[in-house]
Amino acid sequence: MSRKHKKRLARILIAALLLGVIAFLPIGEKIKAVLYLLPYLIVGWDVLWKAVRNIVHGQVFDENFLMSLATVGAFALGDYIEAAAVMLFYQIGELFQSIAVGKSRKSIASLMDIRPDSATLLRDGEELKVSPDEVQKGEIVLVRAGEKIPLDGIVLEGTTTVNTAALTGESLPVDIAAGDRVVSGSINLSGVITLKTESVYSESTVAKILNLVENSAAKKAKTENFITRFAKYYTPIVVVSAVLLAVLPPLISGGEWADWLHRALIFLVVSCPCALVISVPLSFFGGIGGASKRGILIKGANYTEVLAKTGTVVFDKTGTLTKGTFKVTAIHPESMSKAELLDIAAAAESYSNHPIAESIIAAHNGHIDRSRIGNVTEHTGMGVEAVIDGRVIFAGNGRLMELAGADLHDCHIAGTVIHIAEGKNYLGHIVISDEIKPNSKAAIAELKALGITKTVMLTGDRREIGEAVGKELGLDEVHAELLPDGKVKAVEKLIDKKAPLAFVGDGINDAPVLARADIGIAMGGMGSDAAIEAADVVLMDDEPLKLPEAIKIARKTMRIVWQNIIFALSVKAVVLVLGALGIAGMWLAIFADVGVTVLAILNAMRAMR
């Protein structure tokens, strides 16, 4: 709990204790009236101050003004306990809301981890360590293994493997050779390369990602707090009605001024929106608390409301609908058994720590006798060449097969294909694919059962792989081969003003899209800090089925909120009429205020389950 929350809680506890002690003191009512001001001011001074400050700034009619006017009115009627208790309940509701909303989002400084600190510039045969901002378009930059690529450019010399996960979200490294394009923010995993820059740093991919997050966050449609919207119209109507009730009848009919003033003050006490200002945030707080127990973190009440209305759900692929880990999904030998082909491939890859090699070795799941393996040569960006049992084996992509002179066979299955050849003799191929999470298909089906009108997947992966995953999961649309700015544009096209759009992602590259969507949902357990900070909802255990569960919780919470709103306003409307007619006394007014509040709170507690 923050220091601010602790201070407010301390004020509430002190005021509640004083209220109880004063009520039982054997002293006169006049002295009690003075003493009751103490807990009232301890717990409500900030509300009174805000009301006065807002009046000075021309913002008269808000909940602070009405709370101040109603409680001062209660004091004027001699209901001192009522005045202090009403303010106490109001502050309890404010504390709940403050905790529910939580801290403001932290700075997106975590995104700065993808920004390269320096660039090695080649000028006149010398290496210069400079800031990426100092590199001009068309200059030559050297990037060693383990370094971040500082600017977008075309590779002039060298071959390597590049990790683009920070940008595309795809965890499988990409093989790079001369003539290929590389983007800033990627990590050079193996070889040394030189590249010719295509742009200055401010126009690079990594700079654009940072700008997208900042600018997209500003475009997000924000749901106004219900109480503020309600009070904007409710408060002035109530105050004007109370004034008219106190003045017009005596002027017109010649009635007792004291009697009509008494009715007007009862009118104000009844009209105090305590049941709403407490139960509405408490309902959201209960829903948020109940969701957190299920591993679903909703960052505020306004996001609960948007989540409940969601009509379109857009997913990132890798790490969201798939595991982001790779395994052998097919083995297609030419003239030997599958086990023999896998054994040869595993032996050839046994000295590599590349994700592809690790997945083949894991599928082999047996002892690899390295005494069989002779010289191993790694062809960067293509694969490996190894001498196994005296035979020269090539295992890698199509370019390696061209180098070996082997005539490869294409595969109809979507995935990364590893071809194996003995010299020019093609032996077959192995398909490696990203695993779909076990519950992804069930999550999509459940979303559709909840009435979600459209499910879409965005991915930086190849089109055939994306479409294969989309078809298997039953998604409505698939958009593939997208960089972060492409994902943002795709989301903007999908946004429908009639129903909010939710985007679900997990990587740094998803942060701009999470910020741009009506509601951003991050897979938090394995997701990046940047994605979690940019998101409005975090699924803490990366379980796709948590998404429909989160929507169910949000909808239940909103049902409870509207139940409380309708119940409170209905009771108050009846008692207001009775009070104006002189039928309802202060006790009925107190029930319409405190009693309705208690009932609304009890109903709000259901959201916690």
What local confidence, expressed as pLDDT, does residue 273 receive?
A: 67
In this prediction, residue 310 carries a pLDDT of 93
At 277 the pLDDT is 67
pLDDT over 60 at 168, yes or no: no
Q: How far is CA 234 from the centre of its chain?
A: 33
Average the pLDDT over 150-154 and give the result. 89
- Span 241-260, pLDDT tens digits: 878 888 888 888 776 776 77
Higher pLDDT, 401 or 100: 401
Bridge pairing between strands 160-163 and 174-176: antiparallel
- Residue 502 pLDDT > 90: yes
* 313, pLDDT greater than 50: yes
Q: For residues 140 and 404, give the distance between their C-alpha atoms in angstroms, rounded to a whole number.
A: 33
Q: Which helix (H) or strand (E) holds 188?
A: strand 187-188
Q: Are 119 and 148 in contact (CB under 8 A)?
A: no
Reported in sequence order, the residue ranges of 206-321 that DSSP labels E, i.e. its strands, are 296-298, 312-316
Decide which of 378 and 164 is more confident: 378
pTM of the entire structure? 0.60
Q: Please indicate whether residue 593 is annotated as part of the active site.
A: no
The pLDDT, as a whole number, for residue 226 is 57
Cα separation, 349 vs 52, whole angstroms: 75
Give tens-digit pLDDT for 169-211: 455 678 888 998 888 878 888 889 999 998 888 877 667 655 5
For domain 291-322+437-553, the CATH superfamily is HAD superfamily/HAD-like (3.40.50.1000)
Cα atoms in the Cβ-side hemisphere of radius 13 Å centred on 427: 25
Average pLDDT over residues 491-511: 82
User: In the structure, what pLDDT confidence band is assigned to residue 109 with cuts at 50, 70 and 90?
Assistant: very low
pLDDT: is 418 or 240 the higher one? 418
Q: What is the pLDDT of residue 312?
A: 93
Each residue's pLDDT tens digit, 363-392: 998 888 888 888 888 887 788 999 998 999
Q: For 486-495, how does the pLDDT look when each residue is reduced to its tens digit (9 = 90+)? A: 888 898 898 8
Calpha distance 501→216 (Å, rounded) = 14
Domain boundaries, the chain: 291-322+437-553, 324-435
Burial class of 372 by CB neighbour count within 10 A (0 to 12, 13 to 18, 19+): middle
Catalytic residue among 152, 175, 316, 461: 316
Q: Which two tokens stand for residue 274?
A: 């305590």
Q: Is 99 within 8 Å of 299 (Cβ atoms)?
A: no
In whole angstroms, give the CA distance from residue 506 to residue 538: 9
Tokens of 273: 């929106």
- What average pLDDT does the chain have? 80
Structure tokens at 79: 């209901």
Q: Note the pLDDT of residue 62.
A: 63
Residue 219 pLDDT grade (very low, low, confident, very high; cuts 50, 70, 90): very low
| Tens-digit pLDDT profile for residues 414-433 | 778 899 999 999 999 999 88
522 touches 315 (CB < 8 A)? no
Res 450: pLDDT: 94
Answer yes or no: is pLDDT of 103 > 60: no
Does the structure show a pLDDT above 60 at 155?
yes
pLDDT by residue (tens digit) across 520-558? 898 865 445 556 567 788 786 778 898 999 999 999 988
Of residues 292 and 227, the one with the higher pLDDT is 292
Best CA proximity match to 461, nearest among 488, 475, 481: 481
Please report the beta strands in 74-138, taking only residues with DSSP state E, as ranges in sequence order. Answer: 119-123, 126-130
User: What architecture (CATH level 2) is domain 324-435?
Assistant: 3-Layer(aba) Sandwich (3.40)
**Locus of tokens 């890859």:** 349
pLDDT, residue 566, reads 86
Bigger pLDDT: 140 or 57? 140
What are the structure tokens assigned to 293, written together?
């127990």
Q: Report d(CA 308, CA 560) in Å as an integer.
A: 12
Q: CA 502, CA 95: separation in Å to the nearest integer?
A: 29
On the question of pLDDT at 446 being above 90, the answer is yes
Tokens for 312, please give them: 């379109």
